[in-house]
Structure 1
Amino acid sequence: MPVDEIPRVALMESIHPMGIELLTSHCIVDRMPAEENEEFEKILARADAVIIRSTPFTEEMMKKSPKLKIIGRHGAGTDNIDLSAAEKLGIKVVTTPQANTGSVAEYVLTVALMLLKRIPEVTSSLRRGNFSSGAGSLPGQVDRAGLTGREANGTRLGLIGAGAIGATVAQHALQLGMHVTAYDPFLDRTKERSFALVDDMDELLSCSDIVSLHVPGGPESQNLIGRRELELLPPGAILINAARGELVDQTALIAALESGHLSGAALDVYAPEPPDTNSALFSAPNLVLTPHMAAMTEEALKRMSTQVTTQVIQFLDEYKRDRL
């Protein structure tokens, strides 16, 4: 095939080598420079497809891509893509909604168990030298210091959003003996599920020992969990957010941890990202902080790269056949 007939794909960010290998066997791959310079614009101008991860892809970028037919999102969400502009310009958008489901669900259960067992807190206490050989057995010292943990069995888990990831979290949690309830107004109520559904988020918050967020971002979800919502949680509750940073009012969360109303929390996402090194988050008690890595497993990265490249290749092949 003549070179000028081979589709060109612009890679905004690097993806797993398995995806690169698949892509280069069908297309010419152009790697975008980090800055929007002359080379950046040149690549956009000739791209038949673009694959992105977290980089925003705006209407202005689309208009600089007159040949662009498809945008592949390496991940589940589309909040970094101007979907209305893509629709207006006739550009297809594809994602990999199931590729990282298991990895994120495992992350949620991992930090939930860490916080139930108070792992971050007791590790810090041990490192500070708060346990001594002359104070009796270590288990006795743990008990006297008020550092005993809780079992997952019987704990009430509340999910805000019960799509693919939320439902997978529920499956794992049920196997641990947790009682799972979800709030998701978009779910089909006629479908049978292994967990309970409620119609009111406040009801969910008031009866959950652990709350995990699994909803998309956007202006309508800004500070979904603020001071009022945190106050509805039972004393000693735990909050986990591995969805989008803007869902949680970080100032209110810090206050709830410092007051002891929450026994712990875990954040994998922030607004903005990354958090400033001087952020009060880093001094908040019993707060697990990770760098947006819930989906960053070797297995998930392989799946995301191969799934997005497969969709892009198939679409470009079909597009070409339709015009023969």
Structure 2
Amino acid sequence: MRILIADAFPEQHRNRLAAAHDCVYEPDTTADQLPAEIAGYESLVVRSTRVTAQALESANALRLVIRAGSGTNTIDTDTASRLGIYVCNVPGRNAIAVAELTCALLLAIDRNIADGVADLRAGKWDKKRYSHARGIFGRDVGVVGLGQVGLAFAERAAAFGTRVHAVSKPGRDQQTLERAQDIGITFVDDLPELARTCDVLSLHVPATDTTRRLVDRELLAQVRPGAIILNTARGDLIDEDALIEAMETKGVRAGIDVHADEPTTGTDTFRSRLAAHPNVCGTHHIGASTEQAQAAVAAETVHVIEEYAKAGTALHCVNPRTREFAPSLSANDPS
């Protein structure tokens, strides 16, 4: 199989692929460059690089796109389905890393660490200001989304001695319910109730038509004054103007790792009213960027490719009805 890896990927796992496949590594490929590069490749591996309709339509042999991570919102899945191209992800392998960063943001906000470090580096000693913190123990933490990341964060939040809450949802699998019980999660009826109940609201859901701008003016009207909003999931879960308004009127604070319209390249200029707000502790979409997480994601990405090459099985496929949507697959036929 001819494979294009269009984002950073650990050398050990690249070598494993190269031993069995024609593997080309172009980690600096941009979304604009991809349409001109994709011809002739049967498999594409990306992390943050966007895969547009133009790129997919420029592919003449593509059978499989793998997002080396969990979310696939940067891939035009509808176009891929129409063309008979499977889109797969690697869920859960970076859950601990994202949960760790979420905890780090929570603690950094409570202890005002970012501003304190900046002052100390600038030669300013202000123990009087930075001695004020409420503390995390005994506080109510709401977890929005009990997937792998949400549960991993809930476990760690509970270890701090917080009371963890989530929204009751019909149809949750038994394993999730048992894990939630072990953590000690208390369920409430709906998201507004969760917002009213908790001092901290942490977002761990994918970006879909029903979750975009989930945190809007209506929901923020329900949160407690001084509440903390954490988002290490997707930038478009939050109405940024509404959050800024809540910061200025209710003293809401936020830990943000993902941003609306953030750059898709490793380095760039980025201007954001939300990221620049003094009530925000922000990071550069690095939730999954630990060596441990990237090794685990890469290993599973290799597994997805090997299973497809061996048996035509598309593991973790997010558009499993692709064959039904594509009456004539021609060069893209993965059979």
**Partners in 2 of 1:166 and 1:48 — Cα distance?**
34
The equivalent residue for 2:56 is 62
**Partners in 2 of 1:16 and 1:249 — Cα distance?**
35
The equivalent residue for 2:233 is 243
Q: Is the 8 A contact 2:108 2:281 kept in 1?
A: no
Q: Is the 8 A contact 2:205 2:233 kept in 1?
A: yes
The equivalent residue for 1:176 is 160
The equivalent residue for 1:234 is 224
CA 1:46–1:265 in 2, change beyond 3 Å: closer, same or farther?
Answer: same
The equivalent residue for 1:259 is 249
After superposition, the C-alpha distances for 1:124-161 in whole angstroms (9 at most, x for unaligned) are 56657464xxxxxx5xxx3xx59521222211000111
- Which of 301, 317, 330 is matched with 1:308 structurally? 301
Q: Give the counterpart letter for 2:10 in structure 1.
A: H
Q: Is the 8 A contact 1:268 1:291 kept in 2?
A: yes
Q: Give the counterpart letter for 2:246 in structure 1.
A: A
Q: Is the 8 A contact 1:161 1:184 kept in 2?
A: no
**Partners in 2 of 1:125 and 1:61 — Cα distance?**
46
**Partners in 2 of 1:316 and 1:186 — Cα distance?**
37
**Sequence identity, in percent?**
28
Higher relative contact order (CA 8 A, sep 6+): 2
CA 1:319–1:219 in 2, change beyond 3 Å: closer, same or farther?
Answer: closer
**Partners in 1 of 2:78 and 2:53 — Cα distance?**
9
**Partners in 2 of 1:237 and 1:68 — Cα distance?**
47
Q: Is the 8 A contact 1:258 1:284 kept in 2?
A: no
Q: Give the counterpart letter for 2:287 in structure 1.
A: A
Task: Determine which structure has more spread, i.e. the larger CA radius of gyration.
Answer: 1
Residues matched between the structures, number: 302
Q: Is the 8 A contact 1:226 1:252 kept in 2?
A: yes
**Partners in 2 of 1:261 and 1:40 — Cα distance?**
46
SS of structure 2 residue aligned to 1:78:
coil
- Which of 209, 213, 235 is matched with 2:203 structurally? 213
**Is the counterpart of residue 167 in structure 1 residue 156 in structure 2?**
no
**Partners in 1 of 2:195 and 2:186 — Cα distance?**
14
TM-score by length of 1: 0.83
SS of structure 1 residue aligned to 2:221:
helix
- Which of 253, 265, 281 is matched with 1:288 structurally? 281
Residue 110 (structure 1) shift: 1.1
SS of structure 2 residue aligned to 1:221:
coil
In structure 1, the gaps of 5 or more residues are: 1-6, 132-137
Name which of structure 1's ranges 80-89 and 157-166 shifts more when overlaid on structure 2.
80-89
Q: Stretches of 4+ moved more than 6 A in 1? A: none
TM-score by length of 2: 0.81
